[in-house]
Structures are given as C-alpha cells and as structure tokens.
Amino acid sequence: MRKAAVGTALVCAATACAVAALIVRHRMKNSSRWSRAMAILKEFEEKCATPIGKLWMVADAMAVEMHAGLASDGGSKLKMLISYVDNLPTGYEKGLFYALDLGGTNFRVLRVQLGGKEKDVKQQAMEAIIPPHLMIGGSNELFDFIAAKLAEFVSSESGDFQLPAGRQRELGFTFSFPVRQTSLASGTLIKWTKGFSIDEMIGEDVVSELTKAMERQGLDMRVTALVNDTVGTLAGGRYSDKDVVSAVILGTGTNAAYVEKAHAIPKWHGLLPKSGEMVINMEWGNFRSSHLPLTDYDLSLDAESLNPGEQIFEKIISGMYLGEILRRVLLRLAEEASLFGDVVPPTLSVPFSLRTPVMSAMHHDSSPDLRVVESKLKEILGVVNTSLKTRKLVVELCHIIARRGARLSAAAIVGILKKQGRDTSTEKQRTVVAMDGGLYEHYSEFSERLEGTLTEMLGETVASTVTVTRATDGSGIGAALLAASHSQYLGTEES
C-alpha cells in the first residue's frame, strides 16, 4: 500500500514538474517573442521619426525643388506643370456645364447650373466605380466606359438644368494624373500613378481620347477645360473664398497646386497672362529628398509597386499606401515575433489586403478593450483571440504611420508657403489652403495632426493667418467653373 502511495506521489510530482516546465518554457517563448516584437516596433518608430528640425529640412527642400522645377522641364523630381489657368473664377460664371472627375477607383460626373453673380449653384452628380481590369487594360476600353456613363447621365437631364437652344454641351474634365498641358483644353499624359497602368496612353492627348470615345457614344460634347484635381479644387475654393491661393489633395494619391507669379516661371515661354499669375500643378507626390524618413518597408513597397522609383512622397503619405505599410510591418511581426500565433495569417501576405479605411477605423478605436481592432483583425486577417497587448501594439503602429504622413504633409505645405513668401508674414494677409481628399476628410487623427504640425512649425502668430479649409468635392465644381470661364460662347448673350 505504502509503496503504491509513494509511486503515485512520485508520478504526480513528475507530472507537476513537467507542466511547470512547459509553462515556464511557454512564458519564456512568449516573453522572447514579445521582446522581439517590441524591438521591431521601436526600430520602426525611430526610422519614422519626424522631429521639427527634420520637418524644416523637408519644407526647405520642397521650396528648393519648386524653384528647380519652375526653371526647366526635368529640372526637378517636382514637375511643376503649367496648368494654363491664369484666371481663377470670378463668381460671375453662368450657365449649364458638365464636369467629369477621373482620378482614382471612383469617378464622378456632374451637371452644374451656375447662377451668375448670385453664386446660386445647383448640381446633380452620379458616381461609378472603375472596374479594376479597366485600370490596367486598353485606353479605348477605359474611355468608352467613362463616355458611356457620361452619356447615360446626360440623358437624364431635367427641367432645372437648361441648355439654351442650339448650344453644344461643354465639359470640364478633371483628370488627376500628371499631364503636360498644351493649352487649357489639351494635354498629354506623362505617366500613370495610383495603380493605373495603360502604356498606350502615355504621350497621348487626353482630351482627344475622351472626345473620340464620346463620339463613339454619339455624345456631342466639347471639353473646354482639362484640369488636375488640385487645380479644380483651387478654382472651386477661390469661387467661395478669394484668399484661397493653394490646394492640396490628400486622398488615394496626394498632390498640390498653387498660384505662382508668371514672371517667376523661367520655363514659361508663352505670353505673360494679363493677371500676371499662373496656377502650377506641382505633382508633389513625386517629391523625394534625403531628408524623408524612409524605412525598409517603404523601400520594398516601392520596389514591388507598379511604378518603382516614382511617387515616393505619395507612397509614404497617401490613402492608397498607408494601410499597405501597416500590412508590411504586421507581416514582419507575424513572421519574426509570432504576433498572431504560430501561423502567419495567409491574408497578411496579400498586398493591399489591409486598406487605409480599416487602419483608420482601428486607429480611432476608443473602446477600453479595443473591440474595433479585435473585430477588424478577425474580419480582414482571420485572426481570433488577440490579446489586449497585441491590439494596443496594432494601434501604436497606426499612430506611427499616420503621424509621419500627417507631419510630412504639413512640412510640404510649409514649403509652398515659403515659396509664396507667406511663411513668416505677420501682416494681416490671410492665406487659405483648400483641402480635399478622402484621407483628409475621414481620417481625423491624420487631419488634426497635420493642422497641429502647421502651428508647431509656423508659430501661433503666422499660423493664425493660415486657414486650411475643406473643399469637399471642390474639384468637380472647379472644373465646371473653368469650363464656364473658357466657354466657346463667352461674350455672346446669355453666357
């Protein structure tokens, strides 16, 4: 009996020891995994740092590159494209005009009835999604699709929107890619950005491609203005506030336009406009500088993108890429620190599987136990049972990525203010920046950080003279306004 009892006790003790050893090993494994995760996080945070001194170097570099891009074509990574918009809306524009806005995965068509000096604007819009295969297919396919949607929209014109008899419909075309304009209503595509890639379009005249497609649809419409979204936003912004002197887009892509003195554009060989001014489309998404805080994740994202070596600034700031940067960091954490357990969630290896709106939702999760983060990780990556510690880490990553993007965007705006001589002014000169784009509109951690950084850089006094105003969908109205101010019927009665 005794022997048996001793035996049993020994077996129990041995089992307890083994279990304890397992627990200790498990804990050690967990703690070494966790310290690996912390090391990866810390390294990432350091590489993304944007102290104020660095931001000023970025702002200075932006201003220097602006000069170089204005001096000659190819003088800088910044294309500094001449928009041929030398007169912004006056507020007297009148009549029915159409606008078409193509620049991302969605496109919009608008019908705008401008009421003249009462600035009474009526509008109707229709939105459609560009099927992904058309973004990388042939140019006829893309333009036929767009023209067909436009024709469908035109056919629904109603009594409120009246075209005087015998007139041709006129359109402002917002085409948000880098275009070398040859006049206000013509220009050739330099390259694609934001996931579009249709080689046969490069070097082609964008307006004649659209015009041919409209003809194929039996649509009699004339393009009287071809504008970038930044230029459209600037025009739309100026219509409602005369102090708007620049526009910034923070959406799928990012870019800015501003009003420049025509004589400060050495590469401008045309007639000096009466206004003495010209709107410049900077194409700042292609900005690159040794001062930009780039990480290995950014470099591999770029190398594997459709446009390697291009749009580096855009790739660390804009809505198309922020979620993808997060995915890349999480993938490394899953592989090297088993952040989501022993198996790496397969979706995490799929490029662009984690979109910026998801990142934004996780970043804004204010529940104490981070329920939104938990449900997004489950829904998108199929990861269940995440610890609070893991979820906090995910939020911290969102914070690092968004903060870098927002602070760099602010530095770039300061670069423009510097070029315009508006970064030190203490006079009562008001400077308004019209801002549009889904990232700015929907990601408040981003927009608030951007505005805070502007104040941090400029100081309270100067910052109080600079206003950032939301110009939601301003580029469509802006294009319609520019179509109106360049109408073929200008000067005739009722125009």
Which residue lies nearest ligand GLC, judged by its C-beta?
A: 253
Given the complex with ligand GLC, which of 249 and 316 has the nearer CB atom?
Answer: 249
Q: According to the binding rule CB under 6 A, does residue 230 interact with ligand GLC? A: yes
Given the complex with ligand GLC, which of 426 and 472 has the nearer CB atom?
Answer: 472
Among 477, 436, 471, which residue's Cα sits nearest to residue 110?
477
CB of 175 to ligand GLC, least distance (A): 8
- Which window, 116-124, 224-232, 294-302, 374-382, contacts ligand GLC (CB under 6 A)? 224-232
CB of 46 to ligand GLC, least distance (A): 28
Given the complex with ligand GLC, which of 102 and 397 has the nearer CB atom?
Answer: 102
- Which window, 2-10, 210-218, 223-231, 338-346, contacts ligand GLC (CB under 6 A)? 223-231
Q: Cα angle at 439 between 437 and 444, to 5 degrees?
A: 120
Given the complex with ligand GLC, which of 201 and 383 has the nearer CB atom?
Answer: 201
CB of 120 to ligand GLC, least distance (A): 29
Separation between Cα atoms, residue 453 and residue 443, nearest integer Å: 16
- Listed in order, strand segments (DSSP E) in 282-365 are none
Is residue 363 within 8 A of residue 403, CB to CB? The reply is no
Q: According to the binding rule CB under 6 A, does residue 474 interact with ligand GLC? A: no
CB of 90 to ligand GLC, least distance (A): 24
Catalytic residue among 176, 246, 318, 360: 176
* Site mask for ligand GLC (CB under 6 A), range 237-256, x = bound: ------------x-x-xxx-
Q: According to the binding rule CB under 6 A, does residue 194 interact with ligand GLC? A: yes
Given the complex with ligand GLC, which of 82 and 329 has the nearer CB atom?
Answer: 82
Q: According to the binding rule CB under 6 A, does residue 177 interact with ligand GLC? A: yes
Number of CB atoms found within 10 A of residue 296's CB: 13
Catalytic residue among 76, 83, 101, 108: 108
Of the candidates 50, 83, 176, 181, which one interacts with ligand GLC according to CB under 6 A? Answer: 176
Given the complex with ligand GLC, which of 230 and 487 has the nearer CB atom?
Answer: 230
Subset of residues 274 to 333 that bind ligand GLC, contact rule: CB under 6 A: 283, 285, 314
Among 299, 351, 329, 303, which residue's Cα sits nearest to residue 398?
329
CB of 252 to ligand GLC, least distance (A): 6
* DSSP code for 163: P
* Site mask for ligand GLC (CB under 6 A), range 375-414, x = bound: ----------------------------------------
The per-residue b/e assignment along 192-216, b for 16 or more CB within 10 angstroms, e otherwise, is bbbbbebeebeeebbbebbbebbee
Separation between Cα atoms, residue 205 and residue 13, nearest integer Å: 83
Instruction: Provide Rg for the chain, Cα atoms.
Output: 27
Given the complex with ligand GLC, which of 239 and 313 has the nearer CB atom?
Answer: 313
163 HSE (CA, 13 A, CB side): 18
Separation between Cα atoms, residue 413 and residue 476, nearest integer Å: 23
Separation between Cα atoms, residue 322 and residue 298, nearest integer Å: 10
Q: Which residues sit opposite 205 in a β-bridge?
A: 188
- 176 as an active site residue: the answer is yes
Catalytic residue among 86, 101, 229, 423: 229
- 391 as an active site residue: the answer is no
Task: Return the SS3 of 409.
Answer: helix
Separation between Cα atoms, residue 130 and residue 144, nearest integer Å: 12
Q: At what angle do helices 388-419 and 444-463 cross, to 10 degrees?
A: 40
CB of 248 to ligand GLC, least distance (A): 9
**DSSP codes of every residue in 106-138:** EEEEEEEEEEGGG--EEEEEEEEEPPHHHHSS-
CA torsion 15-17-18-22 (nearest 10°) is: 140
Separation between Cα atoms, residue 130 and residue 101, nearest integer Å: 12
Locus of tokens 């020994």: 10
* Site mask for ligand GLC (CB under 6 A), range 79-118, x = bound: ------------------------x---------------
How many residues of this chain bind ligand GLC (CB under 6 A)?
17
Separation between Cα atoms, residue 148 and residue 491, nearest integer Å: 32
- Supply the residues annotated as catalytic: 108, 176, 229
Binding residues for ligand GLC (CB under 6 A): 103, 176-178, 193-194, 228-230, 249, 251, 253-255, 283, 285, 314
